[in-house]
Structure 1
Amino acid sequence: MDGVFSQVLQVGGRSNSLGRTAEVVDAVVAEPVRLRELLDCVHDQDAWVRMRAVDAVEKVCRVDPGRVAPYVEELLTTWTTSDQASVQWHLAQVLRQVRLTPAQQERAIAWLAARVVTTDADWIVAVETMRTLLVLVDAGVVPADVVAGLVEVQRGHHSASVRRKADQFLEQLRRTGG
């Protein structure tokens, strides 16, 4: 695929459509050097381009987390400052797929915990954040009781789906000794 990713990612209307995101993912998988171009799209003026770009980065990460790993510091510095829900939930997804240094783990846990310390989070952000925190519990990176306390908060979320997920995650934590 020739062209600038930001232009390609504009195509798809102004709905939650992912537009041509799959084409961008395929292009980056075929030419890993283009990941930089895709990452730059996360800072685009257009919120839809940003949403599609972070979705594409997460999908590239699914294919090969090692491709995204060199950019974790950048993501923890720039994506964590975004108040766009799609950036936040995709960052939560990426953080559970890449290998983090101990310092990165600390920063990631602090950022994730801040998303679910209250029930104000977007429902997808809340669910993906809790899911990532459970992965970090399973990896022995964060204590189960700390995560259980955060998940317990989400049992009061305005979204019924978040409340259901929180109940499921608490049960999972109980089964694993949390």
Structure 2
Amino acid sequence: MKNFEKRLTGGHPNSLGNTIEVVNDVLQHHEYFEELFNCYFSDDEVVRLRVSNAMKRIAKEEKQLLVPYLNRFLNEISQIDQASTQWTLAQLFLLLEDGMNQDQMSKARLLLQNNLANHKDWIVLSQTMETLGQWAKKDDNLNAWLRPHLVRLSKDARKSVSKKATKTLEILEN
């Protein structure tokens, strides 16, 4: 065991801590991925935040490590009530789209639709709009569902949310 949970603990909550070193270990030793994945179940929300960051970095380098875990992301990790986990799922689902089967895509879409309709965190909303917006370009039903939510969010008091909603609407109209 590489003791990733301990290595991802401590320091300023908004810092990466040892995330980059952990990612490099996993990229060099794929057999360590399971231990890192299991850190999502840590009681420490900073560890979970850093695991999310690590997953995104690993997905950009070697998607194939995450694909066998798609069902666990959809069924277990999606249940973690932490904004960083939810916004990372939106990013991961977009990165891993080509590795998903139809059932996984349907579950991911429903999860993200629920987040867009109900979540309050600005980053969750922004990342979810990005993924759903990309998918809606190829899916008329999703496009029709997404537009009223984007109109609503385009009036959000937070500029980052309203700008992202407006930009996504513009992309869908072209």
Map 1:34-49; keep pairs closer than 5 Å: 34-49=32-47
Counterpart residue number, 2:91: 93
Q: Report the AA paired with residue 101 of structure 1.
A: N
- Say yes or no: does 1:157 pair with 2:156: yes
- Say yes or no: does 1:169 pair with 2:168: yes
SS at match of 1:156: coil
Between the aligned partners of 1:164 and 1:112, the Cα distance in structure 2 is: 19
Q: Is the 8 A contact 1:50 1:87 kept in 2?
A: yes
CA-based RMSD of the aligned residues comes to 1.6
Between the aligned partners of 2:68 and 2:151, the Cα distance in structure 1 is: 34
Q: Is the 8 A contact 2:36 2:51 kept in 1?
A: yes
Query: Which segments of 5 or more consecutive residues in structure 1 lack a partner in the other structure?
Result: none
How many Å apart are 1:66 and its aligned residue?
Answer: 1.6
Q: Report the AA paired with residue 114 of structure 1.
A: N
Between the aligned partners of 1:61 and 1:122, the Cα distance in structure 2 is: 23
Q: Is the 8 A contact 1:116 1:154 kept in 2?
A: no
Q: Compared with structure 1, are the counterparts of its residues 53 and 141 closer, same or farther at alpha carbon in structure 2 (3 Å cutoff)?
A: farther
Q: Compared with structure 1, are the counterparts of its residues 3 and 139 closer, same or farther at alpha carbon in structure 2 (3 Å cutoff)?
A: same
Moved over 6 A (4+): none
Q: Compared with structure 1, are the counterparts of its residues 114 and 135 closer, same or farther at alpha carbon in structure 2 (3 Å cutoff)?
A: same
For 2:65, which of 59, 64, 67 is the aligned residue?
67
Counterpart residue number, 1:7: 6
Counterpart residue number, 1:122: 121
How many Å apart are 1:164 and its aligned residue?
Answer: 0.7
How many Å apart are 1:140 and its aligned residue?
Answer: 4.0
How many Å apart are 1:142 and its aligned residue?
Answer: 5.5
Between the aligned partners of 1:62 and 1:116, the Cα distance in structure 2 is: 24
Between the aligned partners of 1:23 and 1:141, the Cα distance in structure 2 is: 42
Between the aligned partners of 1:74 and 1:142, the Cα distance in structure 2 is: 26
Between the aligned partners of 1:139 and 1:42, the Cα distance in structure 2 is: 32
Task: Tell me the percent identity.
Answer: 29
- CA offsets per residue over residues 58-113 of structure 1, 9 Å max, x none? 11011121210110000001121111000000111000011211111111111101
Query: Which segments of 5 or more consecutive residues in structure 2 lack a partner in the other structure?
Result: none
Map 1:14-29; keep pairs closer than 5 Å: 14-29=12-27
Counterpart residue number, 1:113: 113
| Stretch of structure 1 that moved more, 153-162 or 87-96 | 153-162
Q: Report the AA paired with residue 8 of structure 2.
A: L
TM-score (norm 1): 0.90
How many Å apart are 1:135 and its aligned residue?
Answer: 2.1
User: How many equivalent pairs are there?
Assistant: 172
